[in-house]
Amino acid sequence: MREFHFYQPKLGHGLKHDPLNSIVAPRPIGWISSQSPEGVLNLAPYSFFNAFNYTPPIIGFSSIGWKDSVRNIAASKEFVWNLASRPLAEQMNTSSALVAPEVNEFELAGLATAPSRLVKPPRVLESPVSFECRLSDIVQLQNANGGLIDTWLVLGEVVAVHIDTAMLEDGVYNTVLAQPIMRGGGPTDYFSISEAQRFHMHRPVVDK
Ligand SMILES: Cc1cc2nc3c(=O)[nH]c(=O)nc-3n(C[C@H](O)[C@H](O)[C@H](O)COP(=O)(O)O)c2cc1C
């Protein structure tokens, strides 16, 4: 007989650590650069992050609280997503430090900027892939009773893409070559990927 640990989040999980982030894992990281109205550059990682549409491409991240990234994007209507790769893990982590809005996290983390083409915030030069985005929506999340939560889902249309050509093989983007890092649960868990984890599966063909 299988046994299940059952809980209702609003009543507590009854475990040593909240398992949610370990269950919904590993999560890709939205490493977001933005620029304040005063011109201060900002860079921060968000693991409540994903892609939500193909055409046009829409990506989004969720900020628990009205953080500097959201404030900047609400004002400027643009941001850049940068791929957090294994060689950039320490810098990504440093860029998450709770610092005053005047602090430029590119400088804090020792990262260089590369100019974007269609939006003002720069890219992370060292990152293998960046998406220039224009804000499409900021949604304040609600609980199931319609009560507003202090969490903000920021969605943006990807209007320009930069891919380091070293990540391309015969015109195909190779996910493993880019060495993306992903967030696990707990305070310290991250995951990387390698060719050994790849497997293939075709979608079922339905006869009509
Ligand atoms: C890997 C990683 C993932 C994170 N994911 C989130 C997230 O999804 N939402 C969030 O609000 N904060 C997240 N944080 C914390 C923010 O990065 C941190 O609060 C940061 O200071 C926000 O920067 P900002 O105020 O410049 O936007 C994460 C931190 C790390 C290291």
pLDDT in tens, 98-117: 999 899 999 999 999 999 99
- Compute the average pLDDT of residues 48-71: 98
How confident is the model at residue 121, as a pLDDT? 98
Domain with 144, as residue range(s), is: 27-194
Rg of the chain over Cα atoms, rounded to whole angstroms, equals 19
134 within a domain of the structure (yes/no): yes
Q: How far is the CA of 107 from the centre of ligand 1 (A)?
A: 17
Is the peptide bond preceding residue 122 cis, with omega within 30 degrees of 0?
A: no
The 10s digit of each residue's pLDDT in 7-27 is 999 999 999 999 999 999 999
202 is a domain residue: no
The answer to the question of residue 178 being in a domain is: yes
- Asked if residue 184 lies in contact with residue 191, where contact means CB atoms within 8 angstroms, the answer is yes
Based on DSSP, count helices (H) and strands (E) in the chain, helices before strands. Answer: 4, 14
CA distance linking residue 174 with residue 166, whole number of Å: 9
Q: 207 C-alpha to center of ligand 1: Å?
A: 46
| Cβ neighbours around 84 below 10 Å, total | 27
Q: What distance in Å separates the CA atoms of residue 72 and residue 39, rounded to the nearest whole number?
A: 10
Residue 61 lies in a domain: yes
Mapped to the 3 state alphabet, what secondary structure does 108-133 carry?
HCCCCEECCCCCCCCEECCCCEEEEE
CB 84 within 8 A of CB 90: no
Domain annotation covers residue 144: yes
Q: 77: phi > 0 → left, psi -120 to 50 → alpha, else beta; which?
A: left
Report CA(45)–ligand 1 centroid distance (Å).
5
On the question of pLDDT at 186 being above 90, the answer is: no
In this prediction, residues 75-94 reach a mean pLDDT of 98
Residue 208 reports pLDDT greater than 80: no
Using pLDDT thresholds of 50, 70 and 90, give the confidence band for residue 187.
confident
Res. 90: pLDDT tops 90: yes
Strands 168-169 and 148-163 come out as unpaired
Query: Does 94 fall in a domain?
Result: yes
Residues 18 and 42: their CA atoms lie apart, in Å, by 30
Q: Which residues does a 6 A CB cutoff place in the pocket of ligand 1?
A: 29, 42, 44-48, 62-64, 67-69, 93, 96, 98, 183
Residue 208, beta-bridge partner list: none
Rounded to two decimals, what is the model's pTM?
A: 0.96
- Please identify, by atom number, the ligand 1 atom nearest to the C-alpha of residue 71: 27
Provide mean pLDDT across the span 38-42: 96
pLDDT at 206 > cutoff 90: no
| Domain tally, the chain | 1
Residue 205 in domain: no
CATH number at 179 reads 2.30.110.10
